[in-house]
A = this chain, B = another copy of it.
């Protein structure tokens, strides 16, 4: 038996396959990896704009001409929307063939990627790679329609928006790929948003844990779910640009960072979210179940709650503060007013002009004083801190929105993140 080739998963998002010229550009990148000796599984999104068009049609068909209720059958949503990736997969296979790379497309139901029954937002249950393995042995590279699989009912099931990243990681795990390269429109993960701080630096490597904190905090490079999956199966992820040459950023186990990184850094990045809102419930009865009485109605109203802080209790009463997005604030206030009696509180105070800034880094686990250094840097700039929360590798604060740029730059500087 000849030794099988190492395998690589390469995922191209919607902007990277927007038209046939871009599909060809992506195909050239695949050819380069094939020439390096890899068996490649390409995972593709729908061409940019296609998914939105199809979702729009689904909504319109479901609503009827008078624009009725927005309910729609998730199975049919899946059948319609999955067509977007199906088209790209075929076009990518044809383009690869045209430039001399033998390739074959695979739909979610063909691979198959098996999901649970949650149509429209299905979870991956298993991937059977036997058929793919056989085709690799025949020298046929794979082009896989991302974002989709087949449910227990034998019907197409999609993984929810952005699910193509998750497909790619799942295939990388199942195929035992050396790496999963995510091609996108940014050239890697930065220490902060370069539009905010021009001296922001691309990170060569970042741990899964840091990436999760950065992604959920607004770096918006990779879908959180795909990073979680990569972490669980130890899939090395590389984020890189379809449009510029460059090594991108490797998202990997923290051991791999320690090994060869010259950056024994404490903090990897400064993340932020501009449009936050803060809500404080004053004089809440301090009794068991009160948190549930507050956050239950918020969850039912579809409010995404981020930071939660409870101060110490005085005289059987406490103050409860949480943050949410500015968009969700009206919903949140309405839900709280409705539940006011049940909760038992004196007053609801809200502040819609706040922003959140976080410093993230695995190094802070072993380095004391990160929070202190952060607070000192903000104090030097006269930035008042309204709320603080911490996790093992992150410290976040809420501040007045007008100080956001100032705060990000001050922290980027204070933690030595500026480009050389």
User: A: which residues have CB within 8 A of B?
Assistant: 20-21, 23-24, 54, 57-58, 60-65, 68, 72-73, 75-80, 82-84, 86-87, 89-91, 93-95, 97-99, 104-105, 107, 109-110, 131, 154-156
The reply to whether B20 and A60 form a contact with Cβ atoms under 8 Å apart is yes
The answer on a CB contact under 8 Å between B107 and A79 is: yes
Among the interface residues A60, A77, A110, A156, which one has the most CB atoms of the partner chain B within 10 A?
A: A60
CA distance A63 to B24 in the complex (A): 11
Per the bound structure, the CA–CA distance linking A171 and B84 in Å amounts to 27
CB <8 Å contact, B65 and A95: no
A68 surroundings in chain B (CB, below 8 A): 98
A62 CB contact (under 8 Å) in B63, B72, B98, B110? B98
User: Is A61 touching B21 in the complex (CB atoms < 8 A)?
Assistant: no
Q: Please, which residue of chain B has its CB at the minimum distance from the CB of A82? A: B86
Please state if A94 and B65 are interface contacts (CB–CB under 8 Å): no
Partner of A79, one of B61, B80, B89: B89
As for how many copies of this chain the complex holds, the number is 2
Bound CA–CA A154/B91 (angstroms): 19
The answer to whether A91 and B80 have CB atoms under 8 Å apart is yes
Additional A-B contacts beyond A61-B94, A77-B90 (5; CB < 8 A): A24-B61, A57-B87, A58-B91, A76-B97, A83-B83
Q: Pick the contact of A65 from B21, B62, B75 — CB < 8 Å? A: B21
26 contacts between A and B (CB under 8 A): A21-B65, A23-B61, A24-B65, A54-B87, A58-B90, A61-B98, A62-B97, A63-B98, A64-B95, A64-B98, A72-B94, A75-B104, A75-B105, A76-B90, A76-B97, A79-B86, A79-B89, A79-B107, A80-B87, A82-B86, A83-B83, A83-B84, A86-B86, A110-B154, A110-B155, A131-B154
The CA of A86 and the CA of B131, in the complex, are separated in Å by 24
